[in-house]
Structure 1
Amino acid sequence: MKGIGKLIWRFVKLFLILFIAITVFWVILYRFVNPPITWLMITRGFERKADGKEWKIDKQWRDFDDIADGMKRAAVAAEDQTFLENHGFDFHAIEKAIEKNSKSRKLIGGSTISQQTAKNVFLWPGRSWVRKGFEAYFTLLIEVFWSKRRIMEVYLNVIEMGDGIYGVQAAAQNYFHKDAFDLTRAQCAAIVSIFPSPLKWSPTNPSDYVRHRQYLIMKNMRRLGPLDF
């Protein structure tokens, strides 16, 4: 039995070493190479086919400096106002999420922009404690190996912004028929206002609730100090 136990422990150690080596390499690679596709994009593509629609993954990469400053400010204002100061986690938001989760069967996240980026780029869609654990692990890695500038760049290029629409450039063209660099602050806030539910909400045909979200985001954008990326 001791021999079997040692063998199992060797396999566990080997697995952990390989897992850490592969994931660290993957994260470092994406510091320099733009992620070509994500699990969510693939999943949504198959969901569209199942609904009788055409396969659609509309995405066009835009470098950080080619994205309107208002888009970065709107994302911070709406999603993570401590983005430039935190180290990937907003513990106050996490405490509030834990409190809500204790009263509900639905898993509610307190995710920062770094956590959302880790989830979108490296993990599968869905909500579970297992995935949240992997999300925390990849968040730590991107905080160590990427800059905040790179995290924001990747975030705004891969996030879902509509049915088959991913990233700010595709959103700018589909909704406002312009380049991501030319978006106004109001248009940036309108796009960000649909982030929680991009398949149900529209920045160009907003419900009263979405319009109110846009108003609050613009209000928070004005309150933010300089964003030093």
Structure 2
Amino acid sequence: MKKIQKLIQWIVLSFFGSTIFFVILYRFVPVPVTPLMFIRCAQQVGRGEKIRLKHHWVPLDEMSKYLPIAVMASEDQRFLQHHGFDVVEIQNAVEERMAGKRRRGGSTI
């Protein structure tokens, strides 16, 4: 039983440690691939096409200064006020879940 507990602890710590590691890494290094890129490749395979993974990253300083804000606002209009955890939306989601309703929860950014 202790071996299983140690294994579970190791898995949980590895998951959270790797998550933190990649957040810090991708703060300084461009993201090589995204989940959407994998989805597009799977769609190409499904259509019988040759897989083409083509992308061109553009630095933020070469984009409009309003683009990052527009992207965040399209996902979560209060993102700049709550810094990642929209307590109001989380509370609303919990209350609606408790009432048996299903709806979208807090921010996914």
- In the alignment, structure 2 segments of 5+ residues that lack a partner are none
Q: For 1:68, which of 57, 64, 69 is the aligned residue?
A: 64
Q: Is the alpha carbon distance of 1:31 and 1:50 closer, same or farther for their aligned partners in structure 2, counting shifts above 3 Å?
A: same
Cα drift, residue 97 of structure 1: 4.5
Q: CA deviation at 1:45?
A: 1.1
> Cα 1:48–1:72, aligned 2, differ >3 Å: closer, same or farther?
same
The offset of 1:42, in angstroms, is 1.0
- Higher relative contact order structure (alpha carbons within 8 Å, sequence separation ≥ 6): 1
| Match in the other structure for 2:101 | 103
| 2:5 corresponding residue in structure 1 | 9
RMSD: 2.8
The two structures have a TM-score, normalised by structure 2, of 0.70
Superposed displacement of residue 87, structure 1: 2.7
Count of residues in correspondence between the two structures: 107
Tell me the equivalent position of 1:19.
Answer: 15
Structure 1 residue 103, shift from structure 2 partner = 3.0
Counterpart AA for 2:83: H
Q: What amino acid is aligned across from residue 39 of structure 2 in structure 1?
A: T
Q: Distance in 2 between matches of 1:74 and 1:18?
A: 34
Counterpart-to-counterpart distance in 1, 2:47 and 2:105: 29
Identity over the aligned pairs, expressed in percent?
A: 36
Letter in 2 for 1:55: I
Instruction: State TM-score, norm by structure 1.
Output: 0.39
Q: What letter corresponds to residue 59 of structure 1 in structure 2?
A: H
5+ unaligned residues in a row in structure 1: which ranges? 117-229
